[in-house]
Structure formats: C-alpha cells, structure tokens
Chain A
C-alpha cells in the first residue's frame, strides 16, 4: 500500500449502534498514525496519535487500535450518537502527513 486507504467510504447507522472503520497504511518506515474527526463546516480535530504496534487509545466512547506490522488501524465507536456524525480521517505520518479520504459517518436518531 503506497497511500492511506480508509473503508468504508460512508456509513449510516442508527443511534445506539456500535461501529468501526478501517485505515490501511504503508507498513514500512512507520512513524505515527493519527485519527481526526471532521465535522461539516468545521476544521479537523485530532482524536488520537498512535506510535507503537499494539497501541490502544480511548476517548469516551471512541477507541482505536494499531497494527504497524500489517499496516492497519481500527477506529471503534460504541453506542453511536447523532453528534458523532462526522468524517473520520486517518493520517499516516512519515516525514509528511498523508491523509486518507475519510469515512463519513451518519448516525440517525
């Protein structure tokens, strides 16, 4: 993988559902993997920065895991709420920060 790839491209869930997205990145020359939350008409906000294989980070109902050997990270949201609706970006930091296209999450009440 030469670039950062995110899947799915978009996701529609019901309030209360738990969900997860995937970020795939080059597994060589790894420095750090970032997750950002980007709400419409706002600027991206940093969620997590992960640097070590096996890292797990958590912020409230949102958590993330990292596998640097196979080049992927998962973002989990437990009990989704309408205010979680946003685009979730991952970015691979290797000298410069390369962003994935994002997963657009819509949580329906």
Chain B
C-alpha cells in the first residue's frame, strides 16, 4: 500500500539559511500534519491542513511557514535556520478532518551546522 512520502530524507543546512521540506500524503488523503522531533525528545505537533486550509497550529516558530497545495501535497518552509532546528521532521496524513488515524512518513532529518 502507498505510504506518505517525504523529501528530501536528509538535509544539511548552515545557520541562517532556508530549507523546504515536502510531503506527499497517501492518495485520497486530504489532511496533512507536520511534527518536529528533536534529539531524545518526543514528537511535537507543528501545524495541520485540511482541504488546503490551515486547521490546527501547535508550537511552530514564526520563522516557519507551511501550505497545502491543490494536489494535497504540503511544504514546510523554514527560514533563518538555527542550530536548535536540527531535528527529524515528520509529516502525517489522514482521510478527513476527524483524524482517527494519522499515517506518518519516514521523516526528513535536518541538520543545521
């Protein structure tokens, strides 16, 4: 079965640079979620979109923005990168806004040097 696709899988950036992470949900899923997991920490919810509209917002820094496109894929844009942004970034998708089950992608490992 098709799963959530994230690209790139690994990304190395320098401080103050920008990064764009992409997420392709499971086919027919219309809801996307972004999570951040720092080293040794539990996943933290950042933001979600349902039918291309922002639905819920968690602890997303102002330097980060995201959007969901007409084909339901989503992009997380991160600017003025800081060392503390080094983390695993997971995207999840679900069918409908009820969110009974969220299916997670393999993650993008971002390293900021």
| Chains A and B are bound partners | no
Chain B positions within 8 Å of A, measured between CB atoms, are none
Chain A positions within 8 Å of B, measured between CB atoms, are none
